[in-house]
A and B are shown apart, each in its own frame.
Chain A
């Protein structure tokens, strides 16, 4: 297990009288992709802004480990981000929900400008720009005014701007919001690439299915508190007994099959493109009913497998539990 780079300690943040974050505690480790999930309005963005020191918490502290310190100072290597703001700003890059760059500058000009704000030398800056333009597949558009970019390109440019100073930590707030699935996939591929270079990534997203394949650990933010922090698999094991039965057949006329399945085995279903996903706690029973039906409806099976439920399901499960608990409380 790698050592922590951020220590979030007892953070409470209020806007006026409204508590947004309530006694938050967790650590972020060096080199990991750390995901923060939560319902809309659960305080993900506030938490990210507090982590980078942009918002000051009403209580608690966030500490960052400064790696450049000499050995004898290592004991004191964790420093409050609020006391060392200028230094902290140098080690993270931030990409907010809405891309943040100048529309009337070209891609290269934007990168040059933001790079210059980090006091990079001309050579280092040009090298970084070339690397990032290639990494983000933006090389062909470097002289295009940023206002003429598509949504995906805007997002990539924004991430490139956040990475221009080669930060140790990249903070991404809903990096795939408003993007189509293809572009989302592109962004996640990029995130992986960036992480492979050694950059710690902290990201908040509500695309939970995508996060589970990406993040080494995930914090679930619920009711202004951290519900749990663990790897996606641990979370699945801990909170969900539901499994997913994935079936892909041809011609894939699933709507004729679904009414014939016994409802009690099937919690719910989703048709994801050419794939039918059935959520169930009894996968064997589903398979048992499914095979004859497929044969009867002349569906040719292309692929079939069973897997753990996604984070989405866990999140829904957690939410449902919460609702049931609240209902019970109200009833009692």
Chain B
């Protein structure tokens, strides 16, 4: 009964407080409506893209933009770069594409396309870049394909040329071999040539010639002797025959004389001829010597030519080998399709889940986000309502343990949150067609444990806070930290290593990831056991923290100045302001004192240092009133406090039923 009554009381208080009732009842409906309207659409982005091309009619840039237009993005053309960039700043467009002047394929100097993006839109900028780049890459790939096709054709032609060149080289090599062989033969022949000449002794010829002349002389003399003898003989014989013989001897003698007379001329001629011959031979010898030298030079040249030819042969051989190798390499190029070179690897994105709209992907994160904020704020609000209620003191005076109140607060929040989640899930199922029943047991378990964690976080916040404002701000701060350290604003992967590691301990991340796996990937319990253990451990730690913070909060409550307790535990004297015979314990006393204290006391306690304003601020916690009482003029201060009391009186009258 006690349990039911406390829960019932908590629920009534929640529902009867207008603001919390709005949060409890309409909050989830509103959130799910907004989520549904915002995200229930296919996975495309309504991007507006601006571009600027310095060339008025550039077919290449227009072809790029045509590609983007096909994706149903809004395309706006700008007259200059500044207009285009300003349009991003004003939020008219998401990105500005700037084409270069004289933009054409193959122009190395003018093929830079600039993308201007607004990085302050951190959550969208990468998606914009991806979406636009994808389209540009597509067009670029087409251009690359054309260029590559040309390249491939050229390679094929080059292969043919190489084949022909190899054949030519083989022929050249053979010719070189022949030439080398010929040179070798020529060299051999040249080496075989004898340019030496035997020693001709011209003195001997002259001596011989002289001897021959002497012999001819002797021969003449002897002939003439013989003839003389013959004649003597013939004279001795006188007959006709002897006459004939004598004639003959005369004739012979004449002939000998003729011969002898002619011999010196002949010999001179012979000598002259020999001299000429000697001269000629000497000239010939000189020529032969020169020829020999030239022959040697030729032989050297032939050697050089041979060496060069042999080198040429080696080089030709190398060239051939290289050409053959190049040819082999070219032959080894299996990819002969331009498309295969431009896109050697084809990527195909296949979703692991069949859902195709954005809502299905972000639903787990959003559901957990809603649960987190409602859980944290609801439980903290509930605790602050209790802490600030004037009834809280009476709860302390009852024989109900603190822990029981903690538990009932938890259970109330849990109940409300679960009802809200059921409403959200129901609405999501019927209106957004969210697949929530596919993995029902696991999904429910995740939701229950996550709800518990967020409620416990909220309770910690509630017990730590003194005012509703502080609790709300702290709740939002805690929620924001959880949110920031998650994938929802920025991908975790883009964060620093330390932060990335921290996100692993973020209950929002763990629970939303787990919910996503359960809803989208339909994982089973065994796959989720690690995350479950983490969440359970986190929950246990939070339970301990909640009890500790509650105890501390209770101790602080007991030690606080009495005014904060709305009449409970009034500290004496040290909390009251005593000015001579006047004791200030409330605002009425302030008025009375201001009216009645002496000028001397007023001078001392107000004009010198405004004790009254300080006391109103520090003890009554009425900082606004204290600020108004800063005037060190008695009449003004009286007027301020009077008006304040009148206002309070009117408020009290309004509350009181007729």
Contacts and interface: CB of A to CB of B under 8 A. Distances in A.
B583 A113 contact: no
A315 to B, nearest CB: 15
A23 interface: no
Given A54-B396, A54-B397, A41 B573 contact: yes
B398 A118 contact: yes
Contacts of A93: 397
Given A116-B1, A117-B395, A41 B657 contact: no
B621 to A, nearest CB: 15
B393 A100 contact: yes
B566 interface: yes
B38 to A, nearest CB: 35
Interface stretch (A4-12, A42-50, A192-200, A305-313): A42-50
B544 to A, nearest CB: 23
Interface string B541-579: 000000000000000001000100011111111111000
B397 A89 contact: yes
A151 B572 contact: no
Interface in A81-109: 86-87, 89-90, 92-94, 96-105, 109
Contacts of A41: 570, 572-573, 575-576, 583, 585
A40 B391 contact: no
A77 interface: no
Contact of B6 (A87, A113, A150): A113
B390 A99 contact: yes
Contact of A144 (B8, B398, B569, B657): B657
Interface residues of A, number: 51
B575 A101 contact: no
A208 to B, nearest CB: 17
Given A54-B396, A116-B5, A150 B569 contact: no
What bracket does the count of chain B residues touching chain A fall in? 35 or more
Contacts of B400: 117
Contacts of B575: 41
Contacts of A130: none
B573 A49 contact: no
A20 interface: yes
Contacts of A94: 394, 397
A144 B573 CA distance: 39
Interface string B612-640: 00000000000000000000000000000
Nearest to A21: B572
B140 to A, nearest CB: 67
Interface in A101-154: 101-105, 109-110, 112-114, 116-119, 121-122, 144-145, 147-151
Interface string B339-359: 000000000000000000000
Contacts of A43: 572
A179 interface: no
A123 to B, nearest CB: 11
A122 to B, nearest CB: 7
A112 B5 CA distance: 8
Contacts of B401: 86
A112 B4 CA distance: 11
Contacts of A20: 571-573
Contacts of B1: 116, 119, 121-122
Contacts of B399: 86-87, 89-90, 117-119
A162 B566 CA distance: 17
A104 B569 contact: no
B171 interface: no
Nearest to A93: B397
Contacts of A161: 394
A43 B656 CA distance: 31
A72 interface: no
Interface string B360-389: 000000000000000000000000000001
A97 B16 contact: no
A98 B567 contact: yes
Contacts of A101: 390-391, 394
Given A20-B571, A45-B569, A114-B394, A104 B655 contact: no
A42 B572 contact: yes
Nearest to A125: B1
Pick the most buried of B1, B394, B558, B656: most chain A CB atoms within 10 A of its CB: B394
Contact of A114 (B390, B398, B656): B398
B9 A113 contact: yes
B13 interface: yes
Contacts of B390: 98-101, 103
Nearest to B394: A100
A2 interface: no
Contacts of B396: 54
A43 B570 CA distance: 8
A124 to B, nearest CB: 11
Interface string A38-71: 0011110110010010110000000000000000
A29 to B, nearest CB: 22
A42 B585 CA distance: 12
B13 A117 contact: no
A46 B392 CA distance: 18
Given A15-B574, A43-B572, A151-B656, A96 B567 contact: yes
Interface of B: 1-2, 4-6, 8-9, 12-13, 16-17, 389-401, 558, 562, 566-576, 583, 585, 652, 655-657
7 contacts: A41-B583, A54-B569, A100-B392, A104-B13, A117-B399, A119-B2, A148-B655
Given A86-B399, A104-B16, A150-B656, 14 more contacts: A18-B571, A20-B571, A40-B585, A41-B572, A41-B585, A87-B399, A100-B394, A102-B13, A102-B389, A103-B389, A117-B6, A117-B399, A117-B400, A119-B2
Q: Top 5 A-B pairs ranked by shortest CB distance?
A: A98-B567, A116-B5, A117-B398, A97-B567, A104-B16
